[in-house]
Amino acid sequence: MYLVTRRTLRRHHLFAPDPRMTRIFRYALAVAAQRTGVRVHACVLMSTHEHLVVSDPEGCLPRFIHHFHRHVALATKVLRKWEGAVWDHEPTSVVELRTPHAVAEKIAYAIANPVAAALVSRAKDWPGVTTRPDEIGTAIWRVERPTEYFGRDDDRWPPHVELRLEMPRAAHDLAMRDDEFRELVAHEVATLERAARASVRELGGTFVGRDRCAKLSPFRRARSWEPPRSRNPTFAVGRGHHDARIESEERLRAFRSAYRSALDAWRARRRDVPFPAGTWLMREQHAALIASTRVAA
C-alpha cells in the first residue's frame, strides 16, 4: 500500500479543475491501473499536485507511475498548449503505508487536502478529481477517451475505460466491515476539516470557494508560502504506533544494507548474489536475481 504524490513544475496550476482535465486524469489513471494490476483506493487531483492511495499486488508500481505520469503530462501539454515540463523535477514521493491505520489516515489526508489548503471549506465541494469516503470500495468511474492526445485510431487507447475504487485490505486487517472502514475514514476527514477551518479562522483568512477554484487559470502559480522540504519519508505507520515505526526503520535499514552488499558483489562481476525482495531496477534492466522473501529486520 502506498501514498503517491507528485507536483507540477514550479507549482503552476496546470491541473486547475475543469471537466477536460478531470477526464484526462481519470482516463490515464484507469488505463495505467488496468495495464499494471495496480489497485486504486482513493485519489485527489489538486491544481498543482496529485495524491493517490494505491496497492501493488503485482510489484509493478514503478511501471504504473511511469505510464500514468507520462501520459497525464503529454495530454496536459495538449490541453493547456503548454511547452516544457509538466511535472517538477523532484522524484515522485512514494510512501509505503505499513499499518492499516496509516492507510486510513493517508486516505483521509488526501481527501481533506483541498480544505487544508484553504480552497474549499468541505472536502466534498472540491470541483476537481476527488474521492468521498462513501465511494471507497463502491464507486466505478466510467470514462470516455479524451479528445486531447489519445488518438482514436491508436489501438492503445480504448474508447471507454472503467476504474473501480477498491476497498483496501486495511479494512480486513482491522477486522472491520467495509462500511465501518468508510466511517473511520469519514471521521478522519471530518477531524482534518475542523482543524483546517479553525486554522483559517485563527489567521483571519477565508476559503477560496468552489466557484473561484473552478475558474482558476492554469497558467498562474501558487503563491502561498510553503515550508522547505526537509524530509522525504519512505514509510508511514499512523499516529501512536511507536513499535511499528521502530520495526519499519529496522526493515528499511536491513533492506538498504542488503542492497548495498548485493550491488558491491554485482560490481565485482558476481551474478549469483540475489538482491533483496523489493528491488526493481536491477531486476528489470539487468535480470538480477531477487530473493524470494524480505530481509529480516
Read out DSSP for 129-154? S---GGGTTT-EEEEEPPSSSS-TT-
Q: What is the pLDDT of residues 85-109, one digit of tens each?
A: 999 999 999 999 999 999 999 999 9
C-alpha distances out from residue 141 to 47, 80, 161, 163, 166, Å: 20, 24, 8, 5, 11
Helix (H) or strand (E) holding 161: strand 160-164
Q: What is the DSSP string of 267-295?
A: HTT--SSPBPTT--HHHHHH---B-SSPP
Taking the mean position of all CA atoms in its chain, how far away is CA 108?
A: 12
Pairing of strands 140-144, 160-164: antiparallel
pLDDT, position 297: 54
pTM above 0.85? Answer: yes
Query: In terms of CATH, what superfamily is 2-240?
Result: Transposase IS200-like (3.30.70.1290)
CB half-sphere exposure, 239, CA atoms < 13 A: 5
Q: What is the pLDDT of residues 136-155, one digit of tens each?
A: 999 999 999 999 999 888 88
Average pLDDT of the segment spanning 42-54: 98
d(Cα 191, Cα 104) in Å, to the nearest integer?
13
Residue where the block lists cell 502561498: 224
d(Cα 257, Cα 158) in Å, to the nearest integer?
44
Q: Where are the domains of the chain?
A: 2-240, 243-286
Helices marked H in 12-82:
19-36, 61-80
pLDDT, position 296: 61
pLDDT, position 226: 65
Say which residue, 98 or 224, is predicted with more confidence: 98
